[in-house]
Amino acid sequence: MSQVSYDAPSRTYLLTTPATSYALRIGADDAPQHVHWGAPLTLAQAVALPTHDGVTSSFASTSGEELAVEGGARFGVPSLLVRYADGARCVEWVHEGHEIEGNRLHLRLRDRHYPLACTLHYAVHKDSDVVERSLTLRHLGTDEAEAPIEVLRCDAACWSVPAAAGVRLSHTVGEWAGETQLRRTEAPYAETVFTSRRGLSGHYGNPWVMVDAGDATEDRGDVWSMVLAWSGSWRITAHRDHTGGPFTVTGGSGHDGLTWRLRPGESHETPVFAGQFSRSGFGGTSRGWHRYVAEHVLPRPDELRPVVYNSWEATGWDVTLEGQRALAERAAALGVELFVVDDGWFGRRTSDRAGLGDWHPNPERFPHGLGPLVQEVRRLAMRFGLWVEPEMTNPDSDLYREHPDWVLHMPHRRRTELRHQLVLNFARTDVTEWAFTWLDQLVGTYTIDFLKWDMNRALTEAGWPGNPDAERLWSDHTRGVYAVIDRLRRAHPGLRIEGCSGGGGRADLGMLARTDQTWISDNTDADDRIAIQHGYSQIYPARTMSAWVTDSPNPHTGRTTPLAYRFHVAMAGALGIGGDLSRWTEAELAEARDLVALYKQIRPVVQHGEQYRLADAVQHRAGEKVVVIAWGRSRSLRLAGLSPSAVYVDDATGTEHDAATLLTHGLPLHLPKGDRPSTVVRLTRR
Ligand code: GLA
């Protein structure tokens, strides 16, 4: 059956995913109205549904439109706000037709009078219940002399959830070293704004929300979720209407107050704001997003992520050839597959005060360049990676002395430094050309396998003197970053990239479309990581989650924890090690070696399996294999998602378990005694 169908008499469209349906209809005034998002319906059933006519027949402030505009008796949150050259505002749509291309629908709208066109895009997939939405805004003028149209807001999509279900919101809040903290709160009868005004998706909230009726659990219940694929500033506004209108969620790039001009002939593509309806609770919702990210977002989903060593916590800015060599030797002996030198290898970067922008090996630390270290790492049979922060410069750098105009700045305003650095304007093509050139040379010269691409501060004084439409840079900076990464990957197909932004400040689907994994936090304390990883896992899959084992006491929190516990928590993602191995005892190194070997055995299941979040544990299942990583004190753990008639055998002990028992009474856990007991159990279906 076709995934997109159309009923011409009623002008109703139906999108079909494996387990859900989505329907919309062109209303009497040609505005596209939302009809249905939930359980599967046939086209005939969708046609028979009434249209929620919020604009004309009630005082509801959420209109239930697919893209809420300003105009007529609409008083809800506009997804699209424009101002024409004569001062008029508002949009009055004419439905111009559509294209259905396989699994995609393009709905063409045009303003009744002004030269503004808008195409709403919908895409569905055969293997996912995620509906992808975005739009293209176009200025229909052909003559450059025509006036531009001012754009005050242009969201990617507005989603509608049935009013009765729009009761509770799930989202994350956070901060540096405390990212992705899950919050689940009753939705107020009002507009709730989730936003980042920082020019990056941000530590403080991740660009997604989930909506449910207040009764969903990890295992069951209806959940509507929406995720924005964007790495710059953004805004998502949820609106719970007290007069019975649908619960709406409109979202897109950019924060409030930014304005830019759409020029004659110009098209503007929004990022994707994707949505998913699931009947299987928050766990099912997350697994749906994990599958979607693997199948439709990540560039290389099938590759197993290597075990990484990263030098940051061990050496900070104190990077020397000898020191890195010594760490590399110890890392290789543990079974590490990729050795990454973090900050401190370039320019005069001996602290965070200088050097960003001068991307050549520090001549005192690496008198013969990076070659000798790269060779040593390769001799130890590891791949080689480097930390970079291409979007930044320190005022104390040759780059800044040469190009002080390359940073974001405004006339007569301070240049606010954060971490002693300023932001390069990646909306400028001379800047992105420069960035691509040095990155291309660096990666090419040393055949670098992996970059940790960092971004350590928010945008401030985001101006571009001389540019009459400077506020576009809020979005063009992000597009510039995307373009450089995409070009670099095309030029170096073997290169893999880890996204980082002062920890997890830019963890989003926009970055994941062009990176392989995310450094989700600078906080490596295993106790804290459990909550951070829990929040990250709501949307993003384990294979993208760099997870770290560092020293004890932990440098951030001072907390002392057992080595096995630190490993077990990190083994729930893409395992990394970042401790100062020169201080680990022989016993610790031996234990670490065994744990890395164990990780390599469970890695295909953890990275490519389906994840179930259990109480104080995560379970991953791939085919016949189940891996349970538990860090609580409970003696037994109820598993999830198994076929009740199956029988599982414990790989280590040979003990047999009926799945029916594992699902109801639980898996007996033989936890070690002492502080923070934890364990890994591997089961295979008989
Ligand atoms: C940021 C990153 C860290 C580390 C430092 C280096 O803070 O999040 O992991 O790379 O930069 O300066």
Classify residue 180 as exposed, middle or buried by CB count within 10 Å of its CB (0-12, 13-18, 19+).
Answer: buried
Q: Which pTM value belongs to this model?
A: 0.98
* 665 to 431, 629, 680: CA distances (angstroms): 60, 18, 19
**pLDDT interval class at 52 (50, 70, 90):** low
Which residue of 387, 389, 391, 548 sits with most ligand 1 atoms within 8 Å of its CB, as the best mutation to test the pocket?
387
Residue 522 beta carbon below 6 angstroms from any ligand 1 atom? yes
Q: Give the per-residue pLDDT at 287.
A: 98
Whether residue 500 has its Cβ less than 6 Å from ligand 1: yes
**453-478: b or e for each residue (b if 16 or more CB lie within 10 Å)?**
bbbbbbbbebbbeeeeebbbbbbbbb
Higher confidence at residue 352 or residue 59? Answer: 352
Q: Write out the two tokens for 244.
A: 């019975």
Structure tokens of 332?
Answer: 């290789």
Q: Determine whether the shortest distance from the Cβ of 389 to ligand 1 is under 6 A.
A: no
Cβ 168 vs Cβ 152: under 8 Å: no
Which of 563, 584, 608 is the C-terminal boundary of a domain? Answer: 608
**Mean pLDDT lowest for which of 51-55, 95-99, 264-268, 388-392?**
51-55
- Which residue has 């037994």 as its token pair? 636
Q: Is residue 154 part of a domain?
A: yes
Work out the pLDDT band at 60, boundaries 50, 70, 90.
low
Q: Is residue 613 domain-resident?
A: no
DSSP string, 142-204: -STTSPPEEEEEE-SEEEEE-GGGTTEEEEEE--TTS--EEEEEEPPSSEEEEEE-SSSS-SS
Asked if 637 and 585 sit in the same domain, the reply is: no
197-211 pLDDT, tens digit each: 999 999 999 999 999
Tokens of 173: 């809040």
What's the average model confidence in pLDDT over 4-22?
Answer: 98
Q: Is residue 303 part of a domain?
A: no
Residue having the nearest C-alpha atom to atom 2 of ligand 1: 502
Residue 619 has a CB neighbour count (10 Å cut-off) of: 27
Residue 277 sits in a domain of what CATH number?
A: 2.70.98.60
Q: What number of other Cβ atoms are within 10 A of residue 645's Cβ?
A: 8
Average pLDDT, the chain: 97
The residue whose CA has the least distance to atom 7 of ligand 1 is: 502
pLDDT at position 62 over 90: no
pLDDT category of residue 643 using cuts at 50, 70 and 90: very high
Q: Establish whether residue 312 lines the binding site of ligand 1, counting it when its CB lies within 6 angstroms of any ligand atom.
A: yes
Going from the Cα of 399 to the center of ligand 1, the distance in angstroms, rounded, reads 21
Query: Which ligand 1 atom is the nearest neighbour of the CA of 503?
Result: 8
Assess whether 261 and 394 both reside in one domain: no
Residue 118: is it exposed, middle or buried by C-beta count within 10 angstroms (0-12/13-18/19+)? Answer: buried
CB 328 within 8 A of CB 377: yes
pLDDT tens-digit readout, 505-553:
999 999 999 999 999 999 999 999 999 999 999 999 999 999 999 999 9
Q: Which numbered atom of ligand 1 lies nearest the CA of 501?
A: 8
Domain boundary (269, 296, 323) is at: 296
Q: What is the 3-state secondary structure (H, E, C) of 639-653?
A: CCCCCCCCEEEECCC
Identify the bridge partners of residue 123 per DSSP, sorted by sequence position.
104, 132
Residue ID of nearest Cα to ligand 1 atom 4 = 312
Q: Which H/E stretch holds residue 238?
A: strand 234-239
Using a 6 Å cutoff on CB, does residue 70 contact ligand 1?
no
CA 296 to chain centre: 13
| Other CB atoms within 10 Å distance of the CB of residue 316 | 15
Are 510 and 632 contained in the same domain? no
Residues annotated as catalytic (active site), given as ranges: 454, 522
- What CA–CA distance (Å, rounded) separates 657 from 686? 10
Q: How far apart are CA 425 and CA 405, in angstroms?
A: 9
Q: What pLDDT, in 10s, does the model give residues 413-461? A: 999 999 999 999 999 999 999 999 999 999 999 999 999 999 999 999 9
Asked whether residue 615 is assigned to any structural domain, the reply reads no
pLDDT of residue 57: 45
Strands 392-393, 422-423: pairing is antiparallel
Query: Distance between CA atoms of 38 and 45, rounded to whole angstroms?
Result: 13
Q: Which atom of ligand 1 is nearest to the CA of 500?
A: 8
- The span from the CA of 346 to the CA of 363, in Å, is 8
Q: Which residue has the tokens 């630190």?
A: 566
Q: Provide the token pair at 141.
A: 């003028």
Closest CA to 109 of 45, 30, 209: 30
Half-sphere exposure (Cβ direction) of 168: Cα atoms closer than 13 Å: 15
DSSP calls for 251-298: EEES-TT--EEEPTT-EEEPPPEEEEEESBHHHHHHHHHHHHIIIII-
Q: What is the per-residue pLDDT for 533?
A: 98
Sign of CA dihedral 79, 85, 87, 91: negative
- One domain, residues 214 and 319: no
- For ligand 1, the distance from its centroid to the CA atom of residue 379, given in whole angstroms, is 27
152 CB-near residues (< 8 Å, 6+ apart): 81, 82, 83, 259
Q: What is each CA distance from 524 to 128, 395, 507, 665, in whole angstroms? A: 33, 30, 17, 33
Q: Is residue 539 part of a domain?
A: yes
The response to whether residue 387 sits with its C-beta less than 6 Å from ligand 1 reads yes
Q: Would you state the pLDDT for residue 63?
A: 73
| For residue 650, pLDDT beyond 80 | yes
CB of residue 179 inside a 6 A radius of ligand 1: no
Report the pLDDT value the prediction gives residue 640, as an integer from 0 to 100: 98
Would you give the DSSP letter of residue 354?
B
Structure tokens at 71: 């105009």
pLDDT at 53: 56
Chain centre to alpha carbon of residue 262:
28
Is 301 within the bounds of a domain?
no
Q: What is the CATH number of the domain that holds 668?
A: 2.60.40.1180
Q: Is residue 323's pLDDT more than 80?
A: yes
- Within a domain: 616: no
Cβ–Cβ under 8 Å, residues 73 and 62: no
Among 309, 312, 392, 520, which is best to mutate for testing ligand 1, by the most ligand atoms less than 8 A from CB? 312
**249 near 161, Cβ under 8 Å?**
yes
**Which pLDDT belongs to residue 243?**
87
Nearest CA to ligand 1 atom 12: 343
Residue whose C-alpha is closest to residue 570's, from 594, 596, 589: 596
Percent of the chain with pLDDT over 70: 98
Q: What is the pLDDT of residue 327?
A: 98
**Are 602 and 540 part of one and the same domain?**
yes
Residue 344 neighbours by CB under 8 Å, 6+ apart: 315, 316, 317, 318, 319, 350, 362, 365
Distance, in Å, from the CA atom of 681 to the CA atom of 636, rounded to the nearest integer, reads: 12
Is residue 503 lining ligand 1, measured as CB closer than 6 Å? Answer: yes
What gap in Å lies between CA 200 and CA 540, rounded to an integer? 17
> What is the CA(499)–ligand 1 centre distance, in A?
11
Q: Which residue range(s) make up the domain with 640?
A: 621-685
> Ligand 1 mean position to 104 CA, how many Å?
40
Residue 194 CA to ligand 1 centre (angstroms): 26
Where is the domain boundary, 559, 584, 608? 608
443 with 317, same domain: the answer is yes
478 vs 31: CA distance, rounded Å:
31
Ligand 1 pocket mutation pick from 351, 352, 454 by most atoms within 8 angstroms of CB: 454
**Domains in the chain: how many in total?**
3
Q: Are residues 103 and 240 in the same domain?
A: yes
Q: At CA 156, angle to CA 276 and CA 20, rounded to 5?
A: 20
Query: Could you tell me if 345 and 226 lie in one domain?
Result: no
User: Average pLDDT for residues 104-116, to the nearest whole number?
Assistant: 98
Percent of the chain topping pLDDT 90: 96
Nearest ligand 1 atom to alpha carbon 352? 12
Q: Are 68 and 33 in contact (CB under 8 A)?
A: no
- Residue to mutate (ligand 1; options 456, 498, 506; most atoms within 8 A of CB): 456
Q: Is there a single domain that holds both residue 158 and residue 268?
A: yes
- CB of 93 shorter than 6 A to ligand 1: no
Lookup result for tokens 């995310």: 518
What whole-number distance in Å separates Cα of residue 68 and Cα of residue 400?
44
| Ligand 1 centroid – CA 443 distance (Å) | 20
pLDDT confidence tier of residue 264, bands split at 50, 70 and 90: very high
Task: State yes or no: pLDDT of 240 exceeds 80.
Answer: yes
Looking only at Cα atoms, what is the longest distance across the chain? 79
Q: How far apart are CA 357 and CA 575, in angstroms?
A: 30
Percent helix, percent strand, percent coil in the chain, to nearest 5: 25, 30, 45
In a domain, 35, yes or no: yes
> What is the tens place of the pLDDT at every residue in 394-416?
999 999 999 999 999 999 999 99
**CATH number assigned to the domain comprising residue 543:** 3.20.20.70
pLDDT at 55 over 70: no
Question: Closest residue (by CA) to atom 11 of ligand 1?
Answer: 502
Centroid of ligand 1 to alpha carbon of 523 (angstroms): 11
Q: Which atom of ligand 1 is nearest to the CA of 452?
A: 10
**Residue 498 Cβ < 6 Å to ligand 1:** no
Determine the distance separating the centroid of ligand 1 and the alpha carbon of 555, expressed in angstroms. Answer: 14
Residue 157 predicted with pLDDT over 60? yes
Kind and range of the H or E element at 531?
helix 526-536
> Are residues 27 and 55 both part of a single domain?
yes
Task: Specify whether 236 is located in the same domain as 163.
Answer: yes
Count of beta carbons in the 10 Å neighbourhood of residue 591: 17
Ligand 1 pocket, 345 CB below 6 A? Answer: no
DSSP string, 78-135: -SEEEE-TTS-B---EEEEEEEEETTEEEEEEEESSSSEEEEEEEEEETTEEEEEEEE
Q: Is the Cβ–Cβ distance between 456 and 522 less than 8 Å?
A: no
Let me know whether 137 and 253 are in one domain: yes
